[in-house]
């Protein structure tokens, strides 16, 4: 126990305190260091210290946004469920990115890879569901002459649906080609797709034969097979309007399609490769000047035409940003009010020790908040409640020590002896009682429903820090302050009488 | 520091941790005794306190059995919209508008002047239709929150919650039996300590759930609604209840070692008196914090704060008036050694 009172421990405590305050006030540290105004929006926040983004990660109920739990059904047979889940997540990610969401969170969950959880800040539930659940359809077109077409990628030609669609594609993936240098996208067709594709590519080559690399005549529009998402016959009927054709030929834009107002035309184009030769066998490769990124994007684009599974929304939560901000304000007010009441009570009831415990409590609050930023813990309403409640728990350890302290004083010990004995004898009770709370937190964290997990985590962090705060910080403060005889008076210690040595 | 060496001398006498009673030192060397504690005979009046608990628990259990709970959206499933209207329509106006949709919706007015609209599970398109319909009938509407909970999730939340309580109780029983098996009497005594603590814990859970069943169903109050937050509260109370009981039990264990002359009943009573101040002060401060949340924390946290408050008051009561007396009764029925 005496090691607790040693110099190195005191140094560590001081260092932890300073470090915590640095993290708590990271925003202000950054502003001061860069001579920026202390209030208002400035660039570069939240500050990034060597890769650590130090700010409070707010859950959706505080930040506002939409949370959806999806059930995955109709898994394709014969594929690894984990892969299918990952692919679905990639597709959702791609679609969500089009919405421009800040830090979207899309996680796999569920036993047997059958759930996906989506958290999108600042998006309404309707928008989110429309974007994610959109059933976009991939179509292949070939080009047919139409003298009236003046715009679009191939003047004089318009696309024609070929009957080959996303349903005929098993999967698309980005890989490095056999030379090991360039990125390509491989497409695998179903048996029906393979036959159709074979016929289409044979027609392509027959339309203007020759080697596309050497013969200029071989590179005619009819030799291209174009991939679109959601291209309809109606779009094709409008091809003679050059501005319409131009807009449709813009890159595929799921965000535009999700929020499409009447009269707007969204980009639906994916890629327009030339057919080098007839491709039998059901496997095609699209090559070109791909980077890893663009190859992946194209593969995801092709795949997103066909989500590998069906998505069923199990629950949807939409919280407006104003309600979230309100909740933050209210819970902060509640926390401050609670903390002040506790501090006031402790000082009135326990006098000097109460004051010291209040200081320890501020240490505790500073460290816990720093941990929230550092780990980082995503704060939700329930999580903040857990934190506020843990203030009460933090007080308990102090109360245990002080009540014991009074007993030891009554039993006739000197003050220093009483402090030491109080901490030592209160320890089993503190440890056992907080241990049972930690145990409950652990069970909540593993078994509880997701809303409860945040609560369990913050409460557990609070309980752990409160143990340190009471045993180490309060103890040290008591030992330091009570060296001075000025404070060793019964009235200041909240006891009846003090033994003088 | 001369005072520190002074402690050591005393501690050597007082702080021995014996496995058996034989090693306990001469008690005259222990200056802690006899502590000046008011002699309230709690153990002697235990039947009174058991009866008091039953007065609260029995109606609660009857209410739970006959009425069940008022279920929040988390458990009932469905779609819930929290909205405010720019034109401030009255409750009957909103109700009329919702009724005319024929979507089986119901309306609750909130304290802030907004409304909570509840429907059976709606699809995304239906939710949009409902919103457009209301805007058309009642003017501009701000949607603060939309919750949609399908049957699967609602069922899982209930399942997980029950599972969590069961695992927590079992786990705590084992944990406490291990912690307390070093009291005189060994594992059987340890199990008695653990069992009594878990009984007090179940007492608190029943008090809390019973009161909420009565509040929600008998009085029809919205604060008595149970949701995921309520589950959080119950599980926190589980932790807190044991937390409180363990402090008392820990003192009993300590006193059993140092007070060989006292009967078990006397030791328990003494320990209760020694820890009562701490139990009440701690609960009091936690209740103060909760009162702050109840007043300032906004509607979404009020139910949670109330539940925690009931649970914590009950937890303190049960640790003083139920857990320790129960331990005495158990010892009488099943003596150790």
Regarding whether B131 and B110 lie in a shared domain, the answer is yes
Three-class SS state of A98? coil
Three-class HEC string of B129-141: HHHHHHHHHHCCE
Whether B51 is covered by a domain: the verdict is yes
Whether B42 is covered by a domain: the verdict is yes
Contact A320 B142 (CB under 8 A): yes
- pLDDT exceeding 90 applies to what percent of chain A? 3
Regarding whether B170 and B102 lie in a shared domain, the answer is no
Last residue of a domain, one of B149, B181, B204: B149
Regarding whether B269 and B179 lie in a shared domain, the answer is yes
> CA of A108 to nearest chain B CA: how many angstroms apart?
16
Regarding whether B164 and B90 lie in a shared domain, the answer is no
Whether B23 is covered by a domain: the verdict is no
Length of chain A: 501
Domains with residue ranges and CATH for chain A: 2-23+320-493 (1.20.1640.10), 60-134 (3.30.70.3220), 138-306 (3.30.1360.200)
Whether B16 is covered by a domain: the verdict is no
* Interface mutation vs chain A, best among B75, B288, B302, B309, most A CBs within 10 Å: B288
Query: CA of B127: which chain A residue's CA is closest?
Result: A126
Once rounded to an integer, what is the mean pLDDT over residues B155-182?
Answer: 85
Regarding whether B215 and B116 lie in a shared domain, the answer is no
Quick one: pLDDT at residue B17? 38
Domain count, chain B: 2
> CA of B47 to nearest chain A CA: how many angstroms apart?
27
Cβ atoms of residues A459 and A389 within 8 Å = yes
Per-residue pLDDT tens digits for A438-473? 888 888 888 776 667 888 888 899 989 988 888 889
Q: Residue A46: is the preceding peptide bond cis (ω within 30°)? A: yes
Give me the residue from B35, B160, B282 closest to A399, CB to CB: B282
Contact B247 A429 (CB under 8 A): yes
What is the arrangement of strands in the sheet containing A183-189, beginning at the earlier edge strand?
A169-176, A183-189, A283-290
Regarding whether B123 and B43 lie in a shared domain, the answer is no
Regarding whether B203 and B179 lie in a shared domain, the answer is yes
* Interface mutation vs chain B, best among A3, A449, A470, most B CBs within 10 Å: A449
- Could you say which DSSP state residue A119 is in? E
Whether B18 is covered by a domain: the verdict is no
Whether B15 is covered by a domain: the verdict is no
Once rounded to an integer, what is the mean pLDDT over residues B200-219?
Answer: 93
ipTM of the complex: 0.75
Per-residue pLDDT tens digits for A227-241? 887 788 888 888 888
CA angle A266, A297, A212 (to 5 degrees): 90
Q: What is the CATH number of the domain that holds B54?
A: 1.20.1640.10
Res. A153: pLDDT tops 80: no
> CA of A178 to nearest chain B CA: how many angstroms apart?
46
Query: Taking CB atoms and an 8 Å cutoff, what residues of chain A touch B290?
Result: 338, 389, 392
Regarding whether B116 and B39 lie in a shared domain, the answer is no
Query: Of A116-120, A214-218, A227-231, B162-166, which range is least confident?
Result: A214-218
Quick one: pLDDT at residue A403? 87
Regarding whether B274 and B128 lie in a shared domain, the answer is no
> CA of B36 to nearest chain A CA: how many angstroms apart?
8
Query: Taking CB atoms and an 8 Å cutoff, what residues of chain A touch B127?
Result: 125-126
Query: Taking CB atoms and an 8 Å cutoff, what residues of chain B touch A444?
Result: 164, 168, 232, 235
Cβ atoms of residues A139 and A224 within 8 Å = no
Once rounded to an integer, what is the mean pLDDT over residues A350-368?
Answer: 89
Res. A398: pLDDT tops 80: yes
Last residue of a domain, one of B98, B133, B149: B149
Once rounded to an integer, what is the mean pLDDT over residues B234-244?
Answer: 84
* Interface mutation vs chain A, best among B6, B168, B253, most A CBs within 10 Å: B168
Whether B277 is covered by a domain: the verdict is yes
Regarding whether B157 and B144 lie in a shared domain, the answer is no
Last residue of a domain, one of B121, B149, B177: B149
Non-local CB neighbours of B192 within 8 Å, separated by 6+ positions:
B185, B327, B330, B331, B334, B336
Non-local CB neighbours of A495 within 8 Å, separated by 6+ positions:
A405, A406, A409, A410
Query: CA of B179: which chain A residue's CA is closest?
Result: A432
Regarding whether B216 and B82 lie in a shared domain, the answer is no
Query: Of A264-273, B5-14, B47-56, B90-99, which range is least confident?
Result: B5-14
Query: The pTM is what?
Result: 0.73
The Cα B221–Cα B205 span in angstroms is: 20
Whether B1 is covered by a domain: the verdict is no
Regarding whether B125 and B267 lie in a shared domain, the answer is no
Query: Taking CB atoms and an 8 Å cutoff, what residues of chain B touch A482?
Result: none
Mean pLDDT of chain B: 82
Q: What is the CATH number of the domain that holds B89?
A: 3.30.70.3400
Return the exposure string of B206-233: e unless at least 16 CB atoms fall within 10 Å of the residue's CB, then b: bbbbbbbbbbbbeeeebbbbbbbbbbbb
Query: What residue numbers bound the domain in which B268 lies?
Result: 32-72+153-333
């Amino acid at each position: 126990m005496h090691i607790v009172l040693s110099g190195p421990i005191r140094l560590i405590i001081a260092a932890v305190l300073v470090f915590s305050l640095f993290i708590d006030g990271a925003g202000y540290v950054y502003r001061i260091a860069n001579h920026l105004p202390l209030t208002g929006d400035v660039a570069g926040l939240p500050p990034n210290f060597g890769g650590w983004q130090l700010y409070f990660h707010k859950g959706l109920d505080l930040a506002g946004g939409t949370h959806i739990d999806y059930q995955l059904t109709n898994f394709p047979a014969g594929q690894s469920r984990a892969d299918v889940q990952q692919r679905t997540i990639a597709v959702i990610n791609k679609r969500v990115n089009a919405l421009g969401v800040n830090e979207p969170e899309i996680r796999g969950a569920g036993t047997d890879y059958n759930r996906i959880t989506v958290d999108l800040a600042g998006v309404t539930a309707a928008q989110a569901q429309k974007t994610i659940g959109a059933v976009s359809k991939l179509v292949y077109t070939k080009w047919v002459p139409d003298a009236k077409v003046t715009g679009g990628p191939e003047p004089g030609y318009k696309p024609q649906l070929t009957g080959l669609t996303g349903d005929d594609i098993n999967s698309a993936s980005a890989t490095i080609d056999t030379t090991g240098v360039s990125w390509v996208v491989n497409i695998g067709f179903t048996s029906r797709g393979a036959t159709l594709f074979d016929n289409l590519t044979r027609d392509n080559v027959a339309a203007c034969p020759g080697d596309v690399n050497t013969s200029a005549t071989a590179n005619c529009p009819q030799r291209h097979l174009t991939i679109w998402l959601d291209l309809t016959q109606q779009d094709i009927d409008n091809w003679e309007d050059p501005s319409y054709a131009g807009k449709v030929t813009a890159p595929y834009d799921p965000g535009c399609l999700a929020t499409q107002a009447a009269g707007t035309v969204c980009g639906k184009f994916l890629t327009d490769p030339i057919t080098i030769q007839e491709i039998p066998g059901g496997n095609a490769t699209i090559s070109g000047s791909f980077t890893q990124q663009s190859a992946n994007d194209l593969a995801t684009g092709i795949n997103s035409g066909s989500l590998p599974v069906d998505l069923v929304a199990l629950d949807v939560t939409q919280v407006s940003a104003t309600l979230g901000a309100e909740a933050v304000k209210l819970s902060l007010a509640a926390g401050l009010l609670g903390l002040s009441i506790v501090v006031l009570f402790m000082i009135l009831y326990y006098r000097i020790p109460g004051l010291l415990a209040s200081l320890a409590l501020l240490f505790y609050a500073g460290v816990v908040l720093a941990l929230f930023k550092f780990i980082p813990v995503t704060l939700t309403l329930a999580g903040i409640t857990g934190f506020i409640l843990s203030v009460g728990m933090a007080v308990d350890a102090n109360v245990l020590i002080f009540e014991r302290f009074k007993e030891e004083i009554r039993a006739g010990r000197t003050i220093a002896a009483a402090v030491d004995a109080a901490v030592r004898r209160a320890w089993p009770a503190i440890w056992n009682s907080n241990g049972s709370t930690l145990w409950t937190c652990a069970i909540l964290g593993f078994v509880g429903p997701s809303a409860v997990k945040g609560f369990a985590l913050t409460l557990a962090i609070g309980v752990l820090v409160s143990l340190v705060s009471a045993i180490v910080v309060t103890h040290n403060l008591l030992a330091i302050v009570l060296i001075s005889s000025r404070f060793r008076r019964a009235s200041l210690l909240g006891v009846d009488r003090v033994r003088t040595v | 520091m001369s005072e520190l060496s002074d402690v050591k001398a005393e501690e050597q006498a007082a702080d021995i941790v014996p496995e058996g009673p034989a090693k306990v030192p001469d008690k005259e060397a222990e200056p802690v005794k006899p502590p000046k504690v008011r002699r309230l005979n709690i153990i002697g009046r235990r039947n009174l306190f058991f009866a008091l608990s039953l007065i609260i628990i029995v109606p609660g259990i009857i209410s739970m059995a006959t009425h069940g709970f008022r279920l929040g959206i988390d458990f009932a499933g469905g779609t819930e919209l929290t909205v405010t209207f720019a034109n401030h329509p009255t409750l009957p106006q909103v109700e009329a508008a919702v009724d005319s949709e024929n979507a089986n919706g119901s309306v609750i007015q909130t304290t802030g002047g907004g409304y909570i609209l509840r429907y059976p599970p709606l699809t995304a398109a239906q939710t949009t239709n409902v919103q457009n319909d209301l805007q058309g009938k009642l003017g501009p509407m701000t949607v603060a929150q939309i919750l949609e909970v399908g049957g699967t999730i609602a069922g899982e939340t209930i399942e997980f919650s029950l599972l969590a309580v069961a695992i927590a109780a079992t786990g705590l029983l084992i944990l406490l039996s291990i912690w307390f098996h070093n009291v005189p009497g060994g594992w059987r005594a340890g199990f008695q300590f653990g069992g009594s603590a878990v009984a007090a814990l179940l007492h608190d859970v029943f008090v809390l759930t019973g009161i909420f069943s009565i509040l929600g169903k008998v009085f029809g109050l919205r604060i008595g609604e149970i949701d995921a937050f309520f589950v959080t509260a119950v599980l926190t109370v589980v932790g807190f209840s044991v937390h409180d009981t363990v402090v008392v039990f820990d003192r009993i264990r300590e006193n059993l070692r140092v007070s060989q002359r006292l009967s078990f009943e006397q030791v328990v009573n003494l320990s209760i008196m020694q820890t009562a101040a701490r139990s009440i002060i701690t609960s009091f401060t936690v209740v103060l914090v909760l009162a702050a949340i109840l007043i300032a924390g906004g509607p979404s946290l009020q139910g949670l704060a109330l539940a925690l408050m009931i649970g914590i008051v009950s937890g303190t009561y049960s640790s003083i008036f139920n857990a320790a007396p129960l331990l005495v009764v158990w010892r009488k029925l099943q003596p150790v050694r």
